Chains A and B, each alone.
Chain A
Amino acid sequence: MDLRPAEVTSILEKEIENYGGDSRMQSVGTVLSVGDGVSRVYGLDDCMMNELLEFQNGVRGIALNLEEDNVGCVLLGDAAKVREGDTVKATGRIISVPTGDQLLGRVVNALGDPIDGKGPLGTTAADLRPIEQPAPSVVERQPVTEPLQTGIKAIDAMIPIGRGQRELIIGDRQTGKTALIIDTILSQKNTGDGDPTNPEQVICIYVAVAQKQSTVVDIVRRLEAAGAMKYSIVVMASAIDEASMQYLSCYCGAAMGERFRDAGRHVAIFYDDLYKQALAYRQVMLLLRRPPGREAFPGDVFYLHSRLLERAAKLADNAPEINPRYEAGGGSMTALPVVETQEADVSAYIPTNVISITDGQIFLESNLFNSGIRPAVNAGISVSRVGGAAQIPAMKKTAGSLRLELAQYRELQAFAQFGSDLDKATQAKLTRGERLVEILKQGQYTPYKVTDQVAIIYAGTSGALDDLAVSKIADFESAFLEHLNASHPEVAEQIMTAKKGIPDETKAVLDEAIATVKRQIA
């Protein structure tokens, strides 16, 4: 990076001028032992929980265990530089990270230091926020009312997510969990034209915990290529970083999101993934000799996740009147944590914990994924407990019948092989179901606008596609949406503003468009 000597000189001048010779009393301690990324320190009498400590060689640490005769801390840097007998200084600061607009488009580590080679963030001391903050209280919240459009038909229709909700994404490895997150981030471009200064733009924060660096680089490239990095922040504690950084990175991301939430903006935060975070936490806590519990996780592993996810909230419109900590009301932070399961075992310790904390979950299944149903969402066992209230009315009405027909299809699916031996009604249900499943398939990195989703789902549930071959559904879909947006641009507005289901006149336009396109592709 290019720096002018004159600027450095002026900074020097200012610093030297302001440099006071104040020699305040500082709390110090001595390193008793160090190893495996943790250290025990004797002294540090007034040490606070989560206080940032400074070791002799500039290595930083966090005090996590305050015991009778020593302080247990995790090291946030090169443990090899710390030696027994070194002096440790207490900084009097709870660990905090820089927050604010300057972080948009940047990749930072768990301490908020930029790691993307794009130079300093340009934040000031006033932008620092403690990474652990209390979640908004009951009176400072309101129920979710606005939708967070993921752009994925299967999710927006059947498992809708509201702004301020916590929705778990759960599934085995290689089932498309991260792909779903990327699509959701790309889809947020529709909220404010991808312009981060637009107050309507949903800010996205992707926290990569113990991910491969190559994966994160790939994600960042893809977001940049799609123009989605402008309104996103990537917090990365990759597999090579210390376990302490890995478990702290989620709180760091949450603190950055809260800054926007408290200013009345909308944020979607993705923790990828919380199972690995729990593993990192377990490692640190075992090294600090906290007693192990089930599966050797410490007793507070539930609290580890509950306090993190509780910070996702939809703030009340009058939140600033109740608590001056908020700059504006109505902001939201939506959390989409990921948990990776082993062999689809959702009853393991961490998955059950997080399922019980969140407001619903999206199950991704490898069977579905391998049979070509992508996104591999199992609509039968995926739920969203509060998101329904945030769906637009047209989608709510249309998706209602979709859910029902898919459920009936799943029940009858086992009989599908009997073919013509089945009665007419059963055959009709199977035909419908096959087409609906086909409609819900979607390519990667192609989020749909909600109006397009309503239109195509309407086409499926109205039965107009029952006489179309399953193999032609995909062709129909693209041709239909193209035709609709070109010839009937007013339909989108009508669907968006409909108060109760799709209006009859709009339905007539849609039916006509469906018939036209069917003739074209036949």
Chain B
Amino acid sequence: MSTVAVDPVTARWAGALWNLASSQGAVDQVGKDLERLAAEFSSPAVRAFMLAGDASPAERRSKLEQVMGGFHDLSRRFVGLALDRARMGVLERAAAAYRALSLDKAGVVEGVVEAPRPLETAEVSALEAKLGGELGKTVRLSQRVAPDLLGGVRVFVGSRMIDGSATGRLEGLRRRLLDAPLPTPAAID
């Protein structure tokens, strides 16, 4: 699934940042800054240093200062405030929350399409157009090859799923057969 679990605290911080960025016309710039921050956090050493280690707040600040060269003023303040409040978790997850928010505001949903073979670009865009019409939003699909589906496609968009795969249909058939009303023993006798 494409959606990432975003905790309410991070969502609130990211929401405040997005509102300010939007009023200053810097949504994309701030978004890029946060992505860079997230990339930094993805390294286990940095993550341990920032979240778990016994580094002092000043050490952490100076470490982040190295990354923040070229950051938008808003991003710098955001990081500064999060450091002051010791919200390291927010810093780590802010990019994901911010991104989800930006997509939501732009009316875009992301999703994954699974199929047993790589799909043609035309097929994916046809799916995107069809789903977009149904959901009333712009749909962006990424691909994943899943040989266990046997045939057809399975699409995850937001918290919805459309299962058109052969495996899914067989599973549905299996369930229906198990649930099918059987004659009671009395009727058999």
Question: Cβ of A16 and Cβ of B173 under 8 Å apart?
Answer: yes
A423 within 8 A of B: no
Q: Which of A26, A68, A87, A122 contacts B184 (CB 8 A)?
A: A122
Question: Cβ of B176 and Cβ of A26 under 8 Å apart?
Answer: no
Given A15-B173, A15-B177, A32-B5, also A26-B162 (CB < 8 A): yes
A123 to B169, CA, bound (A): 25
Q: Which residues of B contact A68 (CB under 8 A)?
A: 8
Q: Which of A1, A19, A23, A102 contacts B164 (CB 8 A)?
A: A23
Q: B33-41, B53-61, B142-150, B152-160: which one contacts chain A?
A: B152-160
Smallest beta-carbon distance A12→chain B, Å: 7
A66 within 8 A of B: no
Smallest beta-carbon distance A448→chain B, Å: 35
Residue of A nearest to B152 (CB): A23
Q: Which of A1, A14, A29 contacts B159 (CB 8 A)?
A: A29
A26 to B158, CA, bound (A): 11
A21 within 8 A of B: yes
A14 to B184, CA, bound (A): 18
Q: Which residues of A contact B158 (CB under 8 A)?
A: 43, 45
Q: A3-11, A137-145, A150-158, A467-475: which one contacts chain B?
A: A3-11
A69 to B158, CA, bound (A): 14
Question: Cβ of B164 and Cβ of A43 under 8 Å apart?
Answer: no
Smallest beta-carbon distance B159→chain A, Å: 4
Q: Which of B159, B162, B172 contacts A43 (CB 8 A)?
A: B159
Question: Cβ of A28 and Cβ of B173 under 8 Å apart?
Answer: no
A42 to B6, CA, bound (A): 9
Smallest beta-carbon distance A27→chain B, Å: 6
A118 to B182, CA, bound (A): 13
Size of A's binding interface in residues, CB under 8 A: 38
A27 to B187, CA, bound (A): 39
Q: Which of A3, A14, A43 contacts B3 (CB 8 A)?
A: A43
Q: Which of A45, A69, A123 contacts B7 (CB 8 A)?
A: A69
Q: Which residues of A contact B182 (CB under 8 A)?
A: 3, 7, 11, 119-120, 122
Interface positions, chain A 26-82, Cβ under 8 Å from B, are: 26-30, 32, 42-45, 68-70
Q: Which residues of A contact B160 (CB under 8 A)?
A: 25-28, 45
Question: Cβ of A26 and Cβ of B163 under 8 Å apart?
Answer: yes
Question: Cβ of A122 and Cβ of B183 under 8 Å apart?
Answer: yes
A7 to B177, CA, bound (A): 13
Size of B's binding interface in residues, CB under 8 A: 30
Interface positions, chain A 64-116, Cβ under 8 Å from B, are: 68-70, 87, 89, 102
B134 within 8 A of A: yes
Given A3-B188, A27-B160, also A69-B6 (CB < 8 A): yes
Residue of B nearest to A30 (CB): B1
Question: Cβ of B184 and Cβ of A28 under 8 Å apart?
Answer: no
B106 within 8 A of A: no
Q: Which of B5, B6, B159, B185 contacts A28 (CB 8 A)?
A: B159
Q: Which residues of B contact A69 (CB under 8 A)?
A: 5-8, 11
Question: Cβ of A4 and Cβ of B188 under 8 Å apart?
Answer: yes
A12 to B180, CA, bound (A): 9
Smallest beta-carbon distance B177→chain A, Å: 6
Q: Which residues of B contact A119 (CB under 8 A)?
A: 182, 184-185
A138 to B89, CA, bound (A): 54
A16 to B172, CA, bound (A): 11
A2 within 8 A of B: yes
A121 within 8 A of B: yes
A102 to B158, CA, bound (A): 43
B181 within 8 A of A: yes
Interface positions, chain B 93-140, Cβ under 8 Å from A, are: 134
Question: Cβ of A44 and Cβ of B159 under 8 Å apart?
Answer: yes
18 residue pairs A–B, Cβ–Cβ below 8 Å: A1-B185, A7-B183, A11-B177, A16-B173, A19-B169, A24-B162, A27-B161, A28-B159, A30-B5, A43-B159, A44-B159, A69-B6, A69-B7, A119-B185, A120-B181, A122-B183, A122-B187, A124-B181
List 6 tightest A-B contacts by C-beta distance, closest first.
A43-B159, A23-B164, A122-B184, A28-B161, A119-B185, A42-B5
Given contact pairs A23-B162, A28-B160, A42-B3, enumerate 12 new A-B contacts (beta carbons under 8 Å). A4-B188, A19-B169, A19-B176, A21-B169, A23-B163, A27-B161, A43-B1, A43-B159, A69-B6, A69-B7, A69-B8, A120-B181
